[in-house]
Amino acid sequence: MSYDYHSSICRAGYSSVDSETELFNFAEEKYLPVGLFPETEQPAPICRIQVNVMADGIILGFAFHHSIMDATGAGVIIRDFAKCCRLATGDRLDIHLEATPELQQASREILGRCTVRKNQGSDPSTETHPVESPREGLDHTEDLSAQAASFVKARYFRVPARKVKTLKDACNKVIRNSPSVADIEWKEFYVSSNDVFVSLLWMCLSRARYTRLNSAPSASCICMPVNIRNRVRPPIQSSYVGNALAILKVKVDMKILLTTAGSVPTLLNDDSSLDPKADSNTAWVVALSHIAHSIRMKLISMNQIDVQDLMAYNTEVADFSCNMPTQGNFHVSSWRDNGVYDSDFGREVGHPKDMQIPATKFDGECYILPKRPEEEPCWEVHLELQEDIMSRLDADQIWVSLISDG
């Protein structure tokens, strides 16, 4: 099927192969509407869709320009695209699109006011601000990708949600009993499931990467894109499809990240072991609590002025990739609440069965995938690590206990 690269939004392809056969291959470039590393000198599309018709279903390849649209906006576009497909099949339903022109315009006006820097003359590349300039020698993303492709491995993992909740409860018990919050409302410092899951990733990946090094760095830094739609005043609508994120940078002492695991399996599978005073798991729980609390406090401290400075900086940088894998030791992007699995394509196609993210080949890149409507919910994550680090992760006591069904 012929198509004009610059004028066509959607193209279609046909294959006699069934989707089950391609289950772990459908994030390959042949199923994508745009190459993973397109020529930066050429005009880039904001959004592009490729419909791959298989023998038993459809693989929908979706690409978006990250300087224009974030993962939340991509979720809105996919859900609205599904609604349009339902209308095309003749469904006479009262369907309302989320991305209405009026709402988008109002949100852009709010966001436009947020790109006026409050701290004139401030430098977002300092420790106060989480965004840094691109590293020297990384002018071409495709060059970095070519260097990394030979030794970076991508894997998917599933962690039962009940284990994340167990650890969240344990962390909040430690925080509640901490002398530093004894005289104040401790719930202001609670940690969420997302805080804990990111902390688990950070701890396990650090253990896999640094435990065998003779001279590990004194501290580790993690970068997380943060949805700022509800962090500005007035708030931006959740269905805004543009780019409304700021990069949060959190730093933690490496000694805390490399804390001995203790009796991790007992903690994860026996609620009676949640007492943080128990000697067998004190170090492990307290360390995880400290990491999660550091993330939570950084989120709490992100005020309107910080957000405006960061958004202003994002509009000034020529290369948006400076916000991504070149930052920190690990980069964690959460798509968990972007609602991809809520998309309803109608009676002929139904809801999405699976979602994968193409491998970017950046060591330390992590994507928390959208949550599924399951009876036994899980946290799914896409990890990209050097092969030797991935092998050590497979043997890590904490990680093995997390991904096991026990």
CB-based contact 154:165 (threshold 8 Å): no
Please, which residues have CB within 8 angstroms of residue 152's CB and are 6 or more apart in sequence?
Answer: 359, 361, 362, 363, 384, 385, 386, 387
Q: What is the reported pLDDT for 207?
A: 93
- State the pLDDT confidence band at 9, using cuts at 50, 70 and 90: low
State mean pLDDT over 266-271. Answer: 52
- DSSP letters, 284-319, are HHHHHHHHHHHHHHHHHH--HHHHHHHHHHHHH-S-
Question: CA geometry: angle at 266 spanning 203 and 273, to 5°?
Answer: 100
Distance CA 233, CA 219 (A): 34
Q: What is the reported pLDDT for 338?
A: 92
- Is the confidence at residue 137, as pLDDT, over 50? no
State mean pLDDT over 223-231. Answer: 90
- State the pLDDT confidence band at 20, using cuts at 50, 70 and 90: low
Q: What is the reported pLDDT for 117?
A: 62
3-state secondary structure of 363: coil
Specify the higher pLDDT residue, 148 or 55: 55
**Tens digit of each residue's pLDDT (9 = 90 or more) over 49-97:** 999 888 888 889 998 888 889 999 999 999 999 998 888 777 666 678 8
For 123-127, 291-295, 327-331, 382-386, which range has the lowest pLDDT when averaged over its residues? 123-127
CA distances from 395 to 162, 261, 343 (A): 22, 13, 37
State mean pLDDT over 344-370. Answer: 90
Distance CA 306, CA 92 (A): 46
For 187-191, 198-202, 270-274, 290-294, which range has the lowest pLDDT when averaged over its residues? 270-274
Q: Can you list the domains of the chain with their CATH numbers?
A: 10-104 (3.30.559.10), 121-403 (3.30.559.10)
- Is the confidence at residue 382, as pLDDT, over 70? yes
The token pair at 396 is 């890590």
**Tens digit of each residue's pLDDT (9 = 90 or more) over 286-324:** 899 999 999 999 998 887 777 777 777 666 665 555 555
- Is the confidence at residue 159, as pLDDT, over 70? yes
Tell me: cis bond preceding 134? Omega within 30 of 0 counts: no
Return mean pLDDT, the chain: 79
Q: What is the reported pLDDT for 222?
A: 95
3-state secondary structure of 46: coil
The token pair at 49 is 């869709």
State mean pLDDT over 246-269. Answer: 76
The number of beta carbons lying within 10 Å of the beta carbon of residue 129 is 18
Distance CA 155, CA 385 (A): 9
Please, which residues have CB within 8 angstroms of residue 19's CB and are 6 or more apart in sequence?
Answer: 26, 54, 55, 56, 57, 58, 59, 353
pTM: 0.84
Distance CA 196, CA 289 (A): 8
Question: CA geometry: angle at 130 spanning 129 and 131, to 5°?
Answer: 100
CA distances from 240 to 221, 230, 233, 245, 251 (A): 30, 11, 15, 12, 30
